[in-house]
Structure 1
Amino acid sequence: MRLVDLSHRLQEGMPHHPMHPRAPVVLTGSLAHDMTARWMGEHPELGRVSFVNEQIVLSGHTGTHLDAPLHAGRDRPDAAEIDLAACVGAATRLDLRKHCGARVVLTAEDLAAALPEGEALSPIVLLNTGWADTLTEDPDRYYRNSMGLTEDGALFLRDAGVRCVGIDAPSIDAPHTPGAPAHLHFLRRDPVVYVIENLRGLEQLPLQVPHFSAAPLPISHSSGSPVRAYALLDEREMRTS
């Protein structure tokens, strides 16, 4: 098996959405090695004992993250209530990179055309737009001119029984799309279709991914949570397919 990391690294000063906090990641020290070494004693083989700990101040929608229903609707479930079974399991990657461009919106027709005849959508669908490459080239353009779904594109996935949609862009809705239809159809309706944003590296995946995981932290009253998204691939099957 091969593990493919699909998450952006979280660090102070990282690029972020213009509507999010100016400092989406802040680390402050609470315990230092020099401090704890004064009273922790000595190990006979491994030397002076010491520990370090830090406080992490983190925006819920920083880096690769999952949107909880609360993000788009009052009195909707928070991140602690996210159904893990919906964001862990088999996934389908739709290769949409030929459409890549500033503020491009992906239609139901685009999505259907990206699924080869005879293939079925998994409960988790990963939209490989190629827009993630823009983040390293021009972070401001990445956030302000990103791609997303049209309303009929969102409904195509919902009606197909999809329970979780991931995208390698900062939002499931393009910034100029009125009414944020993908967010609302996915998060304000039941059953919920969870949204994973800011994925990377989706081009490394096959069409059908045997195991994908983007489990969030169970944070009460939070509208979202960073995730460590990854895929597990069976390389033997990939060589014979």
Structure 2
Amino acid sequence: MFNQNQQENQWIDISQPLSKDIAHWPGDTPFSYEVAYPKEETGSVNIGQITTSTHIGTHIDAPFHFKNDGQRVLDIDLNIYIGASRLIDIGDAKEMNREVLSQFNLDGIARLLIRTSIKNNPTVFPKDIPYVTRDGAEFLKEQGIKLIGVNVPSVDPLDSKDLEGHHALYENGIYILLNFRRLK
């Protein structure tokens, strides 16, 4: 992503580096990396092995994650995730709803990064997070937003089973990027 508020085409890596200490969704497979076959065994290269859930660190939630007939990652145009974005800070708001989001100028942007007051320590899974409401998703569509990124691991409450935020964003044509690295 590059930030519209900064010099044109200044690329900013917003991903959390994967490490043995990175927090994972409770119950999911934690991240691990090992050299499965060292160069001494293969004769030419070291071969690494990664084991993890795909719901870790900075990642997207393709519609297939929450809809059996939804697009998979390989079906999504990569350009949705690349380009100018605007970063807003909603502070300690508990919801990403129309009232909160309408306080920001979102004119002329398609990619919105939302920073919350959650510290986003990559080694600690949060206990509670702000979430997207149905009217928040509808407002974002009205503003022309095609991608929402948040610095937390979900767009729904952590204990949600109906995933209203995921579905509302999907129904409004908005893709999801989760757990971006805290930007200044």
Q: Which of the residues 163, 166, 169 maps onto 2:149?
A: 166
Counterpart of 2:33 in structure 1 is 27
TM-score, reference length from structure 1: 0.65
Q: Distance in 2 between matches of 1:154 and 1:173?
A: 12
Higher relative contact order (CA 8 A, sep 6+): 1
Does the aligned pair in 2 maintain the 1:166–1:199 contact within 8 Å? yes
For the residue of structure 1 that corresponds to 2:109, the secondary structure is coil
The offset of 1:9, in angstroms, is: 1.2
Paired-residue identity, %: 26
Q: Is the 8 A contact 1:105 1:174 kept in 2?
A: no
Contact conserved, 1:92 with 1:125, CA < 8 A, in 2? yes
Shift of 1:186: 1.9
TM superposition shift of 1:196: 0.5
Offset, 1:17: 1.2
- State the structure with more CA Rg: 1
Partner of residue 126, structure 1: 113
More strand by share: 1
**How many residues are aligned here?**
176
- Cα deviation for residue 127 of structure 1 reads 0.6
TM-score w.r.t. structure 2 length? Answer: 0.83
Q: Distance in 2 between matches of 1:19 and 1:164?
A: 28
More helix by proportion, 1 or 2? 1
- Secondary structure of the residue that 1:4 maps to in structure 2? coil
The question of 1:193 aligning with 2:174 is answered yes
How far off is 1:177 after superposition? 5.7
Contact 2:120 2:152 in 1 (8 A): no
Give the direction of change, closer, same or farther, for the CA distance of 1:4–1:201 in structure 2 (3 Å limit).
farther
Counterparts in 2 of 1:95 and 1:201: CA distance versus 1, 3 Å: same
Unaligned runs of 5+ in 2: 1-6
What stretches of structure 1 of length at least 5 have no aligned partner?
40-49, 205-241
- State the 1:60 CA deviation: 1.5
Alignment of 1:86-165 (within 5 A): 86-97=80-91, 99=92, 104-115=94-105, 120-131=107-118, 133-135=119-121, 139-140=124-125, 142=126, 144-165=127-148
